[in-house]
Chain A
Amino acid sequence: MPALSELEDAFLKAKKDREFQKELSYLQRTYIGRPTPLYFAKRFTEYLGGAKIYLKREDLAHTGAHKINNALGQALLAKKMGKRRLIAETGAGQHGVATATGAALVGLECEIYMGTEDIKRQALNVFRIRLLGAKVTEVPIGSRTLKDAINEALRDWTTNVRTTHYVLGTVFGPHPFPFMVREFQSIIGKETVRQIIEAEGRLPDYLIACVGGGSNALGLFYAFLNLNKSRLPYQVRMIGVEAGGEGIESGRHASRFAGGSIGVFQGCKSYLLQDIDGNVLGTHSVAAGLDYASIGPEHPYLREKDVIQYTYATDEEALSAFELLSKTEGIIPALESAHALAEVMKLAPKLSKEKIIIVNLSGRGDKDVQQVARIKGIEL
């Protein structure tokens, strides 16, 4: 608790600190490679035969996903706070890679917690994290996935709080994390507003993003939420896509809104997949980064206010989107982002050609290639 107020103070100070902001924006430009392009996916659009589809290319950010926006921001902040060690949880491995990268960049020790299950299916990222000089610690307890990695990281943090900063990877957990992570990710939406006006002279009709913890979605949506509050001729509609796994009825999924209820978990109150006694249920998704029992607390709030709609895509739908984008555009998306693309495949054909959809291509799919091959029964 004292650590949380210390962190909040440091973050609020850094927000106003010109030097800090200057350094951050310099590194965003020269190290991450921002702004990431907003790309008109012409052949994907033609294939679906409806609305124009733009991809916000977070997959082109350094390390291959939007996770670096937050990890780099927090690494700089930790350095400023005088911490000498970073820890983080990771599911798909992208946040682990991003944090290890941030640690290498600013010169801090780094340890990444990862569930045994995820280590198995994301072997490539485990190796990348080690190459970056960080330690990967296996979490063999509980469901052996992301939630257990968060538990273990929180345990480490309570033990080593004086020297260590916990780089939480999404808009979840106790305050100030949901707020701080959203702030670091909101650069995605700020750039997108500028880019779409430049390309089309107007705002889009739809924004679509996948939702695990929900940081890439809020990162893209946030600037538009604020615009929607001002007087616009129309409202930008926003859709968050959860992991439907093998379908809601199967019980093997990670759709918190479709299958969950309000609970209190890992320091925040939100939708949660839980049993009648309040124990957290195991989840399933082909995408490790969406395979999580709860969702950032701002999402239920925005859903209740009808600002964002939520739906889900199944493993199968995500896999077919994964292949379709690869073939039509030469872009292999992360399986997480493929959930957002699966929703685009349902929505775009129903819309007229004047409509514009922007989808957050939150990560690249190199890390998933082996797993997809395995699912298709192909030996590499």
Chain B
Amino acid sequence: MISRIEETFRRLKKKEKKAFIPYIMAGDPSLTKTRDVVLIFEKCGADIVEIGVPFSDPLADGPTIQRSSERALESGITLRKVINFVKELREHTTIPIVLMTYYNPVFRYGEEDFIKDAKNAGVDGVIIPDLPPDEAGSFIFLSRKAFLDTIFLLAPTSNPERLKKVVKATRGFIYYVSITGITGSKLLLNGSMEAQINEIRKYTKKPVAVGFGVSTPEEAFEVSKIADGVIVGSAIVKRLNESPEDIEKYIVGLREAIE
């Protein structure tokens, strides 16, 4: 059975197009607002949407998403509420949805219950940045049974051994972290990213999407020449917080820049 995420990448590939994957933190400032923005993403041509689950200690995130996470927690958002939110969202859209959450909320929820509830709500894939494949045995096993995609991260420092593990553990797409560092850092566009992605392609035919640090349409364009998908997070969260009225224009700009 092919997942909705894989299906999306196949369809785009036939048209020789790349996936645009915008990110939003659930519940910053409210879930109603989040729903509106997800629908704007879709209207403006997003292919997959990544929804962040707030956590008290977001280790992989830079200041922009940390603050967004704090605001969402202050408005009372929990993993359970985000899952229910996706369920309601499914009445309005069929766009593939990926949740990004840290591991402890999943651990508290119970891996099995989380996977079952997320899948039933209409979540297509899950990213857990602080759960490396070596520690994810049961999570991967349970997700396979439920047909929930497990998306793992690769970094420029990953060695071949790690690369093989991530490739094997991943379903949906491989999340290539463009820089060593946290979300929202400055992107460096040079030959090394292309070399790294080519290296990954030696091991797998699975799609590779690039995130962390993509902020301008120019950067999105450059990345889309190399990768199968472009993930934009912090830059969107920042705009949503500072000048939400411009968001449509900005999203359209990104979409048009991506090949």
A and B: bona fide binding partners: yes
Task: Quote the shortest CB–CB distance from A288 to chain B (angstroms).
Answer: 18
Task: Quote the shortest CB–CB distance from B43 to chain A (angstroms).
Answer: 32
Task: Quote the shortest CB–CB distance from B212 to chain A (angstroms).
Answer: 10
Q: Are B157 and A263 in contact (CB under 8 A)?
A: no
Query: Is B204 among interface residues, defined by CB-CB distance under 8 A?
Result: no
Please report the C-alpha to C-alpha distance between residue A3 and residue B158 in the assembled complex, in whole angstroms. Answer: 9
Residue of A nearest to B103 (CB): A264
Residues from chain B with a CB closer than 8 A to the CB of A82 are none
Tell whether A159 pairs with B108 under 8 Å between CB atoms, given A1-B162, A278-B79: no
Please report the C-alpha to C-alpha distance between residue A38 and residue B77 in the assembled complex, in whole angstroms. Answer: 52
Residues from chain A with a CB closer than 8 A to the CB of B73 are 279
Q: Are A141 and B104 in contact (CB under 8 A)?
A: no
Query: Is A276 among interface residues, defined by CB-CB distance under 8 A?
Result: yes
Q: Mark A136-149, 1 if CB is under 8 A from B, else 0.
A: 00000110000110
Residues from chain A with a CB closer than 8 A to the CB of B109 are 277-278
Q: Are B104 and A265 in contact (CB under 8 A)?
A: yes
Task: Quote the shortest CB–CB distance from A8 to chain B (angstroms).
Answer: 13
Residue of A nearest to B165 (CB): A1
Q: Are A159 and B185 in contact (CB under 8 A)?
A: yes
Query: Is B107 among interface residues, defined by CB-CB distance under 8 A?
Result: yes
Task: Quote the shortest CB–CB distance from B143 to chain A (angstroms).
Answer: 17
Residues from chain A with a CB closer than 8 A to the CB of B70 are 141-142
Tell whether A263 pairs with B108 under 8 Å between CB atoms, given A277-B78, A279-B73: yes
Q: Are B157 and A265 in contact (CB under 8 A)?
A: no
Residues from chain B with a CB closer than 8 A to the CB of A272 are 104
Q: Are B157 and A279 in contact (CB under 8 A)?
A: no
8 A Cβ contacts from A237-277 to B? 263-267, 272, 274, 276-277
Residue of B nearest to A281 (CB): B56
Tell whether A142 pairs with B182 under 8 Å between CB atoms, given A1-B162, A277-B105: no
8 A Cβ contacts from B53-74 to A? 55-60, 62-63, 66-67, 70, 73
Q: Mark B186-227, 1 if CB is under 8 A from A, else 0.
A: 000000000000000000000000000000000000000000
Q: Are A162 and B56 in contact (CB under 8 A)?
A: no
Q: Are A141 and B132 in contact (CB under 8 A)?
A: no
Q: Mark A351-365, 1 if CB is under 8 A from B, else 0.
A: 000000000000000
Choose from B80, B104, B158 the contact partner of A263 (Cβ within 8 Å).
B104
Choose from A141, A158, A160, A266 the contact partner of B66 (Cβ within 8 Å).
A141
Overall SS of chain A's interface: mixed
Q: Are B59 and A161 in contact (CB under 8 A)?
A: no
Choose from A1, A155, A266, A279 the contact partner of B181 (Cβ within 8 Å).
A155
Query: Is A309 among interface residues, defined by CB-CB distance under 8 A?
Result: no
8 A Cβ contacts from A192-218 to B? none
Q: Mark B132-158, 1 if CB is under 8 A from A, else 0.
A: 100000000000000000000001011
Query: Is B30 among interface residues, defined by CB-CB distance under 8 A?
Result: no
8 A Cβ contacts from A91-132 to B? none
Q: Are A158 and B180 in contact (CB under 8 A)?
A: yes
Query: Is A280 among interface residues, defined by CB-CB distance under 8 A?
Result: yes
Query: Is A2 among interface residues, defined by CB-CB distance under 8 A?
Result: yes
Query: Is B130 among interface residues, defined by CB-CB distance under 8 A?
Result: yes
Residues from chain A with a CB closer than 8 A to the CB of B39 are none
Candidate in A161, A264, A278 with the most chain B CB atoms within 10 angstroms: A278
Q: Are A278 and B182 in contact (CB under 8 A)?
A: no
Residues from chain B with a CB closer than 8 A to the CB of A279 are 55-56, 73, 104-105
Tell whether A267 pairs with B130 under 8 Å between CB atoms, given A141-B66, A159-B185: yes
Please report the C-alpha to C-alpha distance between residue A87 and residue B22 in the assembled complex, in whole angstroms. Answer: 33
Tell whether A158 pairs with B181 under 8 Å between CB atoms, given A141-B63, A274-B104: yes
Q: Mark A272-301, 1 if CB is under 8 A from B, else 0.
A: 101011111000000000000000000000
20 further A-B pairs in the complex, CB-CB below 8 A; given A142-B56, A277-B105:
A1-B158, A2-B157, A2-B159, A2-B162, A141-B66, A141-B67, A141-B70, A142-B66, A142-B70, A148-B57, A154-B59, A158-B180, A160-B180, A162-B157, A267-B130, A274-B104, A274-B108, A277-B80, A278-B79, A278-B106
Measuring CB to CB, which residues of chain A are less than 8 angstroms from any residue of chain B?
1-3, 141-142, 147-148, 151, 154-155, 158-162, 263-267, 272, 274, 276-280
